[in-house]
Amino acid sequence: MPDLNDPIQSAAEQPWWREAVTYQVYVRSFADLDGDGVGDLPGITSRLPYLRDLGVDALWITPFYRSPQHDHGYDVADYRDVDPLFGTLGDADALLARAHELGLKVIVDLVPNHTSSEHAWFRAALDAGPGSPERARYLFREGRGPDGAEPPNNWKSVFGGDAWTRVPDGQWYLHLFDSSQPDLDWRNTEVGDMFEDVLRFWLDRGVDGFRVDVAHGLVKEESLRDQVVPDREAGAGSMVERANTDEPMWDQPEVHDVYRRWHRVLAEYDGDRMAVAEAWTQTPESMARFVRADEMQQSFNFDWLLAEWSATAFAKVVTGTFAALADVHAQPTWVLSNHDVVRHTTRYGGGPVGLARAKAATLTMLALPGSAYLYQGEELGLEQVDVAPEHRQDPAYLRQKGTPQESDWVGRDGCRVPIPWAGDQPPFGFGPGHAQPWIPQPLDWGRLTVEAQEKVGAESTLAFYRRALAARREHALGSGDTVDVLTADAGVLALQRGGLTVVLNTGPEAVELPAGEVLIASGEVTDGLLPPDTAVWLA
């Protein structure tokens, strides 16, 4: 029997994911071993020692399943096979085996809200026609208005335009994202059964967990009623910001039954298998519902990512997050960047200031109780790239381009530019030889490659991330599950976690530090002064 009063023993008994740092690999853009300009599974395997040396515990790999790639893999045509673009099932097995050999866990992406329109089920649904059991796996409906020529309701796609597309026999199908991503009907039991098989397929192969795409979207309000949108256009809203509080398409209570079922499936396997929710919820309380004891293990805390650069904004998120999670006895999951949002270096202003702030926010995050996710390239200090219009490939951008709703938004390609590993010109070691990557890399990335940063040594962003991850293991883990906000006044955030004090200066002036030994800082700390845009850990 474990003795839960013994701190050393109970730490050893903790599931691996509880305070894990997971590195997100965007498969298309991490490493291209076969030289076709697109990253692949053997490329990831070849770089696993880099991740081990960085000091992360796990990697999450974005979808590599068979897919026509309209949404770069988030449109799955076969959940049980690897797309030839990325390799084979044998390559996936080899990746898992090598990762485990190196002590790294592997989380794969699960896309249950929609399939690709090229999935066998959707093709069968089109062939079988209205009223068929094949159509009942999706959300097909008759249109409104004369001849049913109007969509069945007023919902808009997250990617822009109507959330409905009409098929030749006159019916419409729902797609909250691209028209090549038809939404499944999770009220149909066949859908749940199919996904349980998919979970087991990958669990049997040895994956340690799943990142669940659009976890808040699977079940829609049954009536598929109009969204109430006073004085503005109806919309599923952008993935990141949603203006409307009436959301019949999101966060329905029944969605949690799905995760209770998956919890039971995961629990049948050894090794603390887990799931992490991508749920853009409206409140910390609804985020917390995804990590109730019988549901998922983690849920991204997107409020942290959305917080502006300010001590009070960060303090509010920390306090609100722990308050919401206390009710469900779960720990937070922190994240600052991913493949859908502007990189945090750029969000915080770009250039040297943006980078200093990004490092400071990361260091603050890594001190907090719970788990954390890093996005590939942030350890190199990469910024959002201004991708030229002719190279943009994000379907969310392409759906809006040339429409009356077109905005200044340039899509998500800018955070998906392939990683610079070595050399002084593109492809910077992303692939062999001169094969150019699927999105062009900036010509000046030679100074940001892993190779160049290793030459620079301790001053590089890469060296800082390695130090920060080591410091987390040494000083933050085991410092307790709670954190107190000591102050968030005058631009200075001070947090206390056990014996560890974290101070983050978001203001314009240097501030005096309290007494204590400096364990690590994100910038230069001299004479007891913490410069602007810098964070420090004190003991």
**Residues with catalytic function:** 213, 268
Q: Does an H or E element contain 461, and which?
A: helix 461-471
Binding string, residues 428-467; x marks residues near ligand NOJ by CB under 6 A: ----------------------------------------
- Residue, CB closest to ligand NOJ: 74
| 278 vs 413, beta carbon nearer ligand NOJ | 278
Q: Which parts of 318-377 interact with ligand NOJ (CB under 6 A)?
A: 339-340
Q: Of the two residues 223 and 407, which places its CB atom closer to ligand NOJ in the complex?
A: 407
Any idea which residue has 């943009």 for tokens? 392
Tell me 191's DSSP state.
H
d(CA 353, CA 214): 33
Helices (H), 55-119: 89-101
Min. distance of Cβ 487 from ligand NOJ in angstroms? 35
| Least spacing, CB of residue 307 vs ligand NOJ, in Å | 20
Q: Which residues within the stretch 275-314 sit at the binding site for ligand NOJ (CB under 6 A)?
A: 278
Give the residue with the Cβ less far from ligand NOJ, 214 or 219: 214
Q: Minimal distance in Å, beta carbon 239 to ligand NOJ?
A: 6
DSSP for 116-174 reads -TTSHHHHHHHHH-TT-TTGGGB-EE--BSGGG-B-SS--B-TTSSBSEEE-TTS-EEE
DSSP classification of residue 248: T
For residue 71, state whether it binds ligand NOJ (rule: CB under 6 A).
yes
3-state secondary structure 304-344: HHHCCCCHHHHHHHHHHHHHHHHCCCCCCEEECCCCCCCCH
Of the candidate residues 214, 469, 494, 502, the single one contacting ligand NOJ (CB under 6 A): 214
Residue 492: CB minimum distance to ligand NOJ, A: 34
162 near ligand NOJ, rule: CB under 6 A: no
Residue 464 Cβ, how far from ligand NOJ at the closest point, in Å?
A: 27
- Cβ proximity to ligand NOJ: between 225 and 391 the closer is 391
- Residue 392, token pair as written in the block: 């943009």
Nearer to ligand NOJ, 114 or 141 (CB): 114
Helix axes 255-267, 189-205, angle to 10 degrees: 30
Q: x-or-dash pattern for ligand NOJ, window 105-124, by CB under 6 A? A: ------x-------------
Q: Toward ligand NOJ, which CB reaches closer, 235 or 427?
A: 235
Single residue of 172, 177, 300, 375 touching ligand NOJ by CB under 6 A: 177
**Choice between 139 and 448, CB closer to ligand NOJ:** 139
Q: Are 288 and 328 in contact (CB under 8 A)?
A: yes
CA gap 496, 485 in Å, rounded = 7
Cα(7)–Cα(9) distance, integer angstroms: 6
Residue 17 neighbours by CB under 8 Å, 6+ apart = 58, 105, 208, 209, 272, 274, 297, 298, 371
Considering only residues 74 through 103, tell me which ones interact with ligand NOJ, judged by CB under 6 A. Answer: 74
CB of 111 to ligand NOJ, least distance (A): 6
User: Taking the complex as a whole, how short is the minimal distance between the CB of residue 213 and ligand NOJ, in angstroms?
Assistant: 5
195 binds ligand NOJ (CB under 6 A): no
Q: Which is nearer to ligand NOJ, 346 or 449 (CB)?
A: 346
Number of residues that bind ligand NOJ (CB under 6 A): 9
Strand order of the β-sheet with 58-61 is 298-299, 274-277, 209-212, 105-110, 58-61, 21-25, 371-375, 333-335
Strands 164-166 and 209-212: unpaired
Among residues 91, 213, 247, 379, which is the contact residue for ligand NOJ, using CB under 6 A?
Answer: 213
Label residues 353-372 b or e (16+ Cβ within 10 Å = b): ebbbbbbbbbbbbbbbbbbb
Report the nearest approach of ligand NOJ to the CB of residue 240 (Å).
Answer: 10
Helix, strand, or coil (residue 365): helix
- What burial letters (b/e) apply to 512-526, b meaning 16+ CB within 10 Å? ebeeeeebbbbbebe
Contact 95, 513 (CB under 8 A): no
SS3 category, 218 = coil
Q: Can you give the binding site for ligand NOJ, defined by CB under 6 A?
A: 71, 74, 111, 177, 213-214, 278, 339-340
